Amino acid sequence: MSAYIDPDRQAWDLFKGLPRDEPIQMLNLVRVKAKAEYPQDHPDHGKDISGLEAYRAYGRTTAPIFKRLGGRQIWAGKPQVMVTGPQDEVWDLAFIAEYPSSEAFMAMVRDPDYREFVEHRTAGVADSRLLRLSPVEPGEGFGE
């Protein structure tokens, strides 16, 4: 099973090719490591920090940047069981973040402070999925 931590070049190029001036939502599925793995030059290297603690440090440190750019978390849930899908895809965290535009998301990931703080995410995440969504008003039935 492949692990995904960051987008690859092809996915990033597809993301940038979509409309940039409309709201987007990002579905996040995250599996954390039992123990965070920081690089040797990081202040937290060698400390007994769980992957969840590292991911939460990422969330706390990047929250002001996220909010400054107009982002907000609009949904969060605790994964319980994969009812349909691969049973080896077990997720610790699931949430949807909303941004006023993809430009705001790109500004966040390019922010120099964000680029420093994202080391917590990299240290703590074992696998993840990030799916860009275009918000729509739900209909009465599934798929409407």
Beta-carbon count within 10 A of 6 CB: 13
pLDDT for 2 equals 79
pLDDT at 1: 63
The residue ranges of every structural domain in the chain are 22-133
Task: Give the integer Cα–Cα distance in Å for 144 and 137.
Answer: 9
Q: What does the pLDDT look like over 67-93, one tens digit per residue?
A: 999 999 999 999 999 999 999 899 999
CA distance 143 to 132: 17
Reported as a single tens digit per residue, the pLDDT across 82-137 is 999 999 899 999 999 999 999 999 999 999 999 999 999 999 999 999 999 999 99
What are the pLDDT digits (tens) for 21-78? 999 999 999 999 999 999 999 999 999 999 999 999 999 999 999 999 999 999 999 9
CATH 3.30.70.100 fits 22-133, yes or no: yes
Q: CA quadruple 108, 74, 123, 132: dihedral positive or negative?
A: negative
